[in-house]
Structure 1
């Protein structure tokens, strides 16, 4: 029985146009783990499976896996491979409150990037800081996605297979122009010496080492995305809808999590309080 469900779920994941490659990879792991530990898809079996997950994994992982299975089970019901979704009758674990994101100012992020000696890695992270692209969105960029005449970038590999255009910062255009002058005219915008896309681990390592040396703390690629959103909204008064579209979000609530409160904003807000005269 579970062999049947495993094959059906894997096919659903593979055929879905709305899942990104990373989401598909995670869902395949979730499905294989579930089908190797559960006896069938019913309430008692799922209760046992959830208890097993709680004993082994962090709450965030447990919640993500169960929510993923609930979504996939709905598809099984739709195609009538399953009579009903038992997870609709079980209280699913709530998603833990996200950890407080570390704040990095634009100035600090820029200081770190300026110390990177490798021209490709430097241009890559300079682009992330000034466009807010996700790490993998930038890794998959092609030269044809870059339009210096219209001063914009086409993001074809957005999350959930969504595409968007992102305008280019004036200084970013200068950096990319200089970078392209010394790079071979290949398909990928960013590539290593062998002509392949940048190695994720090695590329992240360069940013980590540079930030630990300059700031004495770790700056990650995703922090550049947060810095981009926060700087636009807090310092340049961009409206939330504009920031949301630039980041490729479909929900403003998600964007709000990227806009971090600054101590200066908090302090000025407190100072605006006036005592009531009695």
Structure 2
């Protein structure tokens, strides 16, 4: 079995990656295979040197991080001794963040208007803990520590475990929602399986469009949570990094948005 075949099988059976992530990673593998790229520093470096001249920075950066993760899996599976991606020059795109900001308080109010009780609490939990979509989808009742108002996250990226705090109001809602259940997934379908990924995303998107005229995605909730902690809660970047389960503070820095980016206004004034 080749490295490509192994990684294809690995992605198909991986439970913590979302369908979108798996689709993206498989596309990256196909592109790598198409250009006859080998898992060696020389081959990968030549590939990315070419990539940054042909694709948008966001595409090149995403592919870089995807192959870094897949290389780590090959090491974990003992198919290679060292991940060659760690010696490939990193791709850095220096730019001013001008993404749309979604104030956390407004976001939570929008979520609380979702009619479906499971999806409503599902996204309320994400917005108040910063959990990833798949981390929340695979959350077990046993991982909720009601006595200490904490939550153990077992399905984080990079096999990193972390404990996050829960608000008293959220804990109360979880108790009511579980109706005495002690085991199994917190958020499940009528058949006891994990909730449908696309249906959950659609519920958030439709409610946000109806309430605010703007589409919200699960990742926006993590960004809003991080921004709120940094701006309003005055939390240190390292603490936010740990809460979000990031392996690097650079990733966390990209989550911190300003409520209003004035750079464009300044530049426009110069060009009058």
Residue 120 of structure 2 corresponds to 122
Supply the distance in 1 between the matched residues of 2:103 and 2:210 (Cα, whole angstroms). 16
**Structure 2 CA distance for partners of 1:21 and 1:228, relative to 1, 3 Å:** closer
Compare 200-209 and 103-112 and name the one that shifted more: 103-112
Match of 1:35 among 33, 36, 55: 33
| Deviation, structure 1 residue 97 | 4.2
Are the equivalent residues in 2 in contact too, given 1:34–1:49 (CA < 8 A)? no
> Are positions 1:208 and 2:205 aligned together?
yes
Asked if 2 retains the 8 angstrom alpha-carbon contact of 1:64 and 1:95, the reply is: no
Equivalent in the alignment of 1:110? 108
User: 2: CA distance between counterparts of 1:107 and 1:81?
Assistant: 47
Task: Give the distance between the partners of 2:112 and 2:227, measured in 1 at CA.
Answer: 20
**Hey, what does 1:133 align to over in structure 2?**
131
Q: Which shows bigger deviation, 211-220 or 223-232?
A: 223-232
Give 1:172's match in structure 2, choosing from 162, 170, 180.
170
- CA deviation vs aligned residue, 1:29-62 (integer Å, no higher than 9, x gap): 433432234287796998589758965x544223
Q: Provide Cα deviations, 1:144-192, integer angstroms capped at 9, x if missing partner.
A: 11111121111000111101111111110121112112x8665111012
1:38–1:99 CA distance, 2 compared to 1 (3 A)? farther
Q: Which residue in the other structure is 1:254 paired with?
A: 251
Q: 1:129 to 1:45 in 2, by over 3 A?
A: closer
Matched, 1:154 2:152: yes
TM-score w.r.t. the length of structure 2 is: 0.73
Q: Distance in 2 between matches of 1:235 and 1:81?
A: 45
Corresponding residue pairs, total: 252
Cα separation, partners in 2 of 1:52 and 1:100, compared to 1, 3 Å: closer
Tell me, what secondary structure is at the counterpart of 2:152?
strand
Superposed displacement of residue 100, structure 1: 2.9
Change (3 A) 1:113 1:4: closer
Relative to structure 1, the CA distance from residue 188 to residue 263 in structure 2 (aligned partners, 3 Å threshold; closer, same or farther) is: same
Q: Output the CA distance in 1 between the equivalents of 2:187 and 2:23.
A: 23
Selected match of 2:59 from 50, 58, 61: 61
Structure 2 Cα separation of the partners of residues 235 and 190 of structure 1: 30
SS in 2 for 1:226: helix
Which of 235, 238, 244 is the matching residue for 2:235? 238
Matched, 1:199 2:159: no
What are the Cα deviations for residues 224-275 of structure 1, in whole angstroms up to 9, with x where unaligned? 11221222222222233322221112333322222222349x8xxxxxxxxx
Gaps of 5+ in 2: 263-272
The structure-2 alpha-carbon separation of the partners of 1:151 and 1:210, relative to structure 1 and needing over 3 Å to count, comes to: same
User: Is the 8 Å Cα contact of residues 146 and 153 (structure 1) preserved in structure 2?
Assistant: yes
Counterpart secondary structure, 2:131: coil
Give the root-mean-square deviation of aligned CA atoms.
Answer: 4.1
In our comparison, the structure showing a higher alpha carbon Rg is 1
How far off is 1:28 after superposition?
A: 4.8
